Structure 1
Amino acid sequence: MTTSDTLITARGVRLRSAGAGGSAVLLLHGIGGSGASFEHQLPALAPAHRALAWDAPGYGGSTDEVPSGMAGYADRIAGILDELSVDRAHLVGVSWGGVIATRVALRHPGRVRSLVLADSTRGSGGSDEAAARMRQRAEALRTLGAVEFARRRGPNLTAPGADPATVERVVTIMSGLRETGYAAAVGSMAEIDHTAELAGIAVPTLVVVGEQDRVTGIAESEELARRIPGATLRVLGGGHAANQEHPGRFNAILTGFLASVDTGAPAGGH
């Protein structure tokens, strides 16, 4: 946490909160992360937004009352927005968090002001092989334990030659994984494939990807941007955890996009 963050709880979910005015922004971390993954985004958003970064159910400081499937995560978010008296929010999702955000936009479209899908994907349910690989991750966590699992997997989220301190931070956050939350997350990814539904997204959408993403890759982000009507694609440095590796560039792209949505002005640059 930064000194300006506060912790709040809604529907059993802990959220880091920063800023008090402007439009709400809900930050949804990746499958190996937590709300701490957005330590660089919260202070950048706070001056113009009510910024909220969740620990997903079963992660961080949230309870182990996990939802059932991707629809369950979307419904939990709608309930959190209700409890926090937020009518509509910008949803910023990294990887798995982007898949959840996509589900919210499809299932609860009236609650979403815009989508930002960072190093994300359509889900892992597009083939039996991809779904099986995803489900195997939960077994790996059970077998290895969180610390060893993070030591082996965490560095792949960053680009080759990334700042060692950033790699260490990614690994440290992943070391806090709990089996209940991770298994539910893995199951939600394995069941879902948004390919056929992306054309139905009707909110402004920004797709962001690290040019050295070794997990989901540029091609997957290009596919998201191609299939979502009017989506913009931005490529920046870094790997799968681009928001942590290059926070300055990521934050500039993010805040510029959110401002364009809130003011109705065209987004600058492509």
Structure 2
Amino acid sequence: MSADVLAPAVTDVHVEEAGDHGPLLLCLHGIGSSSAAFAPQLAEISAYARVVAWDAPGYARSPDPEVPLTLDDFADTAARLIRERGGSAHVLGVSWGGAIALRLAVRHPDLVASVIVADSSTGSGTDETKAAGMRARATELAALGPRAFAEARGPRLVSPGAPADLVRRIVDTMAASVRLPGYGYAAESMASADLRAELPTVAAPSLVLCGDQDRVTGIEGSQAIAGALHKTAFVIVKDAGHLANQEQPERFNAWVLSHLRITARIPEQELSSCL
């Protein structure tokens, strides 16, 4: 992939950044969220790495794209963020962000030092019913508006026993993050995605995580990813739903840092307080 390939009509994206040393960790949120989803990672992992979390094009504080974007376009936009910071990045993607991270690793292997995929799937395009359901989400958002849409979907993203304050934060983040047309472009990118054939070509080492109570993509979705990748570890995060990085941040961060210790060669003594 040529270094000058950029997503069409994406002039800028908003990012949150923390940390001033160590490897670059680029965080790509799920389809109903924003950079706010990575508050626990920005707060904790930034002691060991430079953490960058985006608002995807058309989400939260990022401008709306001028034309529809495909999964390739989202991946190319993420690639531009890495290039702007020099070198390569470890890419952490949650749910839809995991699909983007994997496509990024295929299209721009020189920019991806490793991939961390959490509570994701091989794409809704693997099943006609799933694809239709994903496309219907944009219509639902238009009909309900962001707040009602978030209140309907948010509680399913965590385990049934999740604290009420966490559920409120997730609903509030979704309501403040999603809007059309960006959400519709994201939904179509996922509805069209079938990553099964390309996963074996991912050269970067990977970590695949999934909450043991994920009611959205489920453990089987993460297993399908892990089983197709050549250099991978698969982890079940206890007492977590679809948003394991938010519901069990200490456990999630410990696994991410263990992965970075191996792939980015962070000295073990630097991580002793966390692991």
TM-score when normalising by structure 1: 0.92
1:44 is aligned to 44
1:143 is aligned to 143
1:160 is aligned to 160
Between 1:255-264 and 1:146-155, the stretch displaced more is 255-264
Cα deviation code 1:6-39 (max 9, x no counterpart): xxxx941000000111110000000001000000
Cα deviation code 1:44-80 (max 9, x no counterpart): 1111211100000011110102662101011111122
Amino acid of the residue matched to residue 167 of structure 1? Answer: V
Q: What are the residue-to-residue correspondences of 1:92-131 with 2, within 5 Å?
A: 92-131=92-131
Cα deviation code 1:124-150 (max 9, x no counterpart): 111222211100011000001010000
Q: Which structure 2 residue ranges, 5 or more long, are not aligned?
A: 1-9, 269-275
Please state whether the residue corresponding to 2:213 is helix, strand or coil: coil
1:78 is aligned to 79
Deviation at 1:207, TM superposition (A): 0.3
Cα deviation code 1:135-171 (max 9, x no counterpart): 0011000001010000011000010011111111111
1:205 is aligned to 206
Distance of 2:193 and 2:223 partners within structure 1: 19
Superposed CA RMSD: 1.6
Distance of 1:265 and 1:188 partners within structure 2: 38
1:252 is aligned to 254
TM-score when normalising by structure 2: 0.90
Q: Which structure 1 residue ranges, 5 or more long, are not aligned?
A: 1-9
Distance of 1:67 and 1:75 partners within structure 2: 14
Amino acid of the residue matched to residue 222 of structure 1? Answer: Q
| Conserved 8 A contact 1:18-1:50 | yes
Distance of 2:225 and 2:128 partners within structure 1: 20
Distance of 1:67 and 1:45 partners within structure 2: 33
**Shift in CA distance, 140/59, structure 1 to aligned 2, threshold 3 Å:** same
Between 1:239-248 and 1:255-264, the stretch displaced more is 255-264
Moved over 3 A (4+): none
Distance of 1:56 and 1:68 partners within structure 2: 11
Please state whether the residue corresponding to 1:131 is helix, strand or coil: helix
Tell me the matched-pair count. 256
